Amino acid sequence: MSGQRTLSLEMREFDPTDYQRLLEIYNANYPDYTRSIDEWSSRDESVDRSKYHLQRYAFLESEAVVGFGDVSHVTDMFHPRKFWINIFVDPTVQGRGVGSAIYERLSGELGKLNAIVAWAGSTERLPRLTEFYQRRGFEEKMKAWESRLDVPTINLEKFRDYAEKVLRQGITITNLAEERKNGPDSLKSLYKLVQLISADMPSPAAFTPISYEQWEAFELKNPSLLPEAYMIAKDGPRFVGLSTVWRLDKEPTGLVQGNTGVRREYRGRGIAVALKLKVIDFARRNGYVKLKTWNASSNAPMLAVNTKLGFKREVGWITLEKALA
Whole-Å CA distances, 119 to 185, 197, 204, 318: 36, 23, 9, 10
Q: Please indicate, yes or no, if residue 285 is contained in any of the structural domains.
A: yes
Residue 152 shares a structural domain with residue 61: no
Domain co-membership, 159 together with 287:
yes
Residue finishing a domain among 75, 100, 115: 115
| Confidence (pLDDT) at 320 | 99
User: How confident is the model at residue 4, as a pLDDT?
Assistant: 46
Last residue of a domain, one of 95, 115, 135: 115
Q: What is the rounded CA–CA span in Å between residue 323 and residue 113?
A: 14
- Domain of residue 228 covers 146-317
* pLDDT bracket for residue 163 (50, 70, 90): confident
Pairing state of beta strands 139-150 and 312-323?
antiparallel
Q: Which of 6-10, 53-57, 258-262 has the lowest average pLDDT?
A: 6-10
Full-model pTM: 0.93
Is residue 125 a part of any domain in this protein?
A: no
Q: Provide φ and ψ at 177, rounded to 5°.
A: -60, -40
Q: From CA 49, how far away is CA 146, in angstroms rounded?
A: 30
State the amino acid at position 125 in one-letter form: R
pLDDT score for 214: 98
Domain membership flag for residue 123: no
Whether residue 187 is found in the same domain as residue 250: yes
What's the mean per-residue pLDDT of the chain?
A: 95
Last residue of a domain, one of 100, 115, 130: 115
Question: Do 201 and 91 belong together in one domain?
Answer: no
User: Based on the structure, what is the number of domains in the chain?
Assistant: 2
**238/196 same-domain check:** yes
122 assigned to some structural domain: no
E strand intervals along the chain: 4-6, 9-13, 54-61, 64-72, 82-89, 117-123, 139-150, 171-175, 231-235, 238-248, 251-262, 290-296, 312-323
Whether residues 40 and 100 fall in one domain: yes
Question: pLDDT for 85-132, tens place per residue?
Answer: 999 999 999 999 999 999 999 999 999 999 999 999 999 999 999 999
pLDDT in tens, 234-287: 999 999 999 999 999 999 999 999 999 999 999 999 999 999 999 999 999 999
- My answer on whether 174 and 52 are in the same domain is no
The rounded distance, in Å, linking the Cα atoms of 50 and 4 is 27
CATH of the domain at 32: 3.40.630.30
